[in-house]
Amino acid sequence: MTYETIFTPWQSLGGGVLIGAASILLMATLGRIMGATGILTGLFSPEGFPDWAWRAAIMLGMISGPLAVMLVTGEMPAIDVPVSTTMLIIGGFIVGVGVTYGSGCTSGHGVCGMARLSPRSIAATATFMVATAITVYVVRHMLGG
């Protein structure tokens, strides 16, 4: 099976600018780091209750993004996932374990932590980038998936 990676520089740049701007605004206005896992976890934990409104707003923004695309373009964004549902569930479980042991996710460490030059975030980001490269190589070239 051959996989094609579609290069979308303008969409990628636009998305990166929006994520960066949102991260800066959250830090500047509330002094909080925009890590998706921490935001979601805090939304459902009693300790996060005082912060419930902004956490819910960010989650609703993430969920409603495709609806905004549909309003602008007239169609939902295409989602092409070249793996089975079983692989998605296994991958989700692995990511969940990783963010638990790594004390954060790609957005918290990769975007916010790297920008703050946090040594822990730099190590975490390097670790998950290497793990991602190895996983993609094994799945695509050794397992043939």
Q: Return the domain boundaries, the chain.
A: 9-142
Asked whether residue 1 carries a pLDDT value surpassing 60, the answer given is: no
How are the residues of the chain apportioned to helix, strand and coil, as percentages rounded to the nearest 5? 75, 0, 25
**If pLDDT is split at 50, 70 and 90, which confidence band does 97 have?**
confident
Average pLDDT over residues 100-125: 86
Both tokens of residue 128?
């998950």
Alpha-carbon Rg for the chain, nearest whole angstrom, is 17
Average pLDDT over residues 23-37: 89
Average pLDDT over residues 107-114: 85
Helix 36-43 × helix 52-73 angle, to 10°: 120
| pLDDT for residue 112 | 86
Asked whether residue 133 carries a pLDDT value surpassing 90, the answer given is: yes
Average pLDDT over residues 79-90: 83
